[in-house]
Amino acid sequence: MDLIINLTLNGLATGMLIFLLAAGLTLIFGLMDVLNFAHGGLFAWGAYSGLWIYSQTDSFIIGIIGAILMGFLLGIITEKWIIKPVYGNHVQQILITLGLMLVLSEMLKVIWGPNQITASPPDYLKGSWELGGIIIIKYRVFIILVGFLIFASVQYVLKKTKIGLVVRAGVMNKEMVQALGINIQKVFMFVFMIGAGMAALGGVLLGPYSGVIHAGMGMEFAILAFIVVVIGGMGNFKGSVLAAILVGLSGSFMAYYVPDLSLAVNMLLMAIVLIIRPQGLFGAKG
């Protein structure tokens, strides 16, 4: 039982980190029809900048806030100067965002060096609780809670506020949103900024979870995030959280029981979903 609960918590924590990356990706794709391959770079930048601020201030909270602000800033710059000129052209988008991904990764090496950087949680999140003989690692619970809090907050904004309503409408029909007098460019910028902030948050949370960060972490997680976006349904926010949990849990259990298949299982999941439901588990047809 101890093992099952720990594998589940591990899977949920990993799932939440993937969700933080995938949520922005799916919203950006759904609203802006942009495949942002640089999204993983924003994740890595969140990790590096946040943990650097954490090391300088000795406050993990300030590190998290710093990472999110870095994500916002990079999101605005990316949308305004990199993505905007190539709206509507998928080939150019793929090329330019892949290029940006490389630039972002290499810049990390230039600023913080090519070696891995170790990271550990703050003292109050270190260690574990023991509940009825079951060891529960505090930091995993923290990641899960932050993940759900972010999910609930974004869900609230999407469902209960005017800007959220506009974003949902924009995912369905951008042209009509503009014809109703709404500046869709501002909405694009807002979504890109929020998506980048969430990715950066995921990055800074990953550091103490995995113990080390490195410049290639963005690409590794971006692949998982793309799998999640496809499984959940492109553009579907709720789908992204459920698919991220599914991928996180399957990865966690497979890594323990059939380690050789732990990476292949995500690809297999995606292939099965694409065969049975090409629009993703929660995506709309057409």
Partner 1 sequence: MNDLLKLDNVETYIGQYHILQGVSFEVKKGEVTVLLGRNGAGKTTTLRTIMGLNPASKGNVMFKGVPIQSLPTYTIAKKGIGYVPEDQGIFAGLTVEENMRVAIQTENEETAKRMEWILNLFPDLKKFWKKPGGLLSGGQKQMLSIARAYVNENELLLIDEPSKGLAPIVVEKVMDSILQMKDQTTIVLVEQNFMMASTIGDCFYIIDDGRTVSQGTMKQLKEDEEMKRKYLGIA
Q: Which one-letter DSSP state was computed for residue 16?
A: H
Residue 157 as a binder of partner 1 (CB under 8 A): the answer is: no
As a whole number of angstroms, the distance between CA 258 and CA 237 comes to 30
Residue 284 as a binder of partner 1 (CB under 8 A): the answer is: yes
As a whole number of angstroms, the distance between CA 51 and CA 47 comes to 6
Residue 172 as a binder of partner 1 (CB under 8 A): the answer is: yes
Closest CA relative to residue 57, chosen from 196, 204, 195:
204
Work out how close the CB of 261 gets to partner 1 at its nearest, in angstroms, rounded to a whole number.
Answer: 36
Calculate helix-pair angle for 217-232, 2-32, nearest 10 degrees: 80
Residue 89 as a binder of partner 1 (CB under 8 A): the answer is: no
The count of residues interacting with partner 1 (CB under 8 A) is: 18
- Give the pairing type, strands 212-213 and 117-118: antiparallel
Residue 162 as a binder of partner 1 (CB under 8 A): the answer is: yes
Nearer CB in complex with partner 1: 133/162: 162
CA dist 143 to 64, 70, 149, Å? 12, 20, 10
Nearer CB in complex with partner 1: 59/161: 161
Work out how close the CB of 190 gets to partner 1 at its nearest, in angstroms, rounded to a whole number.
Answer: 15
As a whole number of angstroms, the distance between CA 224 and CA 22 comes to 8
Q: Which of 23, 96, 150, 166 binds partner 1 (CB under 8 A)?
A: 166
Residue 59 as a binder of partner 1 (CB under 8 A): the answer is: no
Q: Are 81 and 234 in contact (CB under 8 A)?
A: no
Binding piece for partner 1, criterion CB under 8 A, among 49-57, 124-132, 141-149, 172-180: 172-180
Work out how close the CB of 87 gets to partner 1 at its nearest, in angstroms, rounded to a whole number.
Answer: 14
Q: What angle do CA 118, 18, 198 make, to 5 degrees?
A: 85
Q: Are 38 and 82 in contact (CB under 8 A)?
A: yes
Work out how close the CB of 234 gets to partner 1 at its nearest, in angstroms, rounded to a whole number.
Answer: 14
Residue 273 as a binder of partner 1 (CB under 8 A): the answer is: no
Q: Which of residues 174-193 bind partner 1 (CB under 8 A)?
A: 175-184
Binding-site ranges for partner 1 (CB under 8 A): 162, 165-166, 168-169, 172-173, 175-184, 284
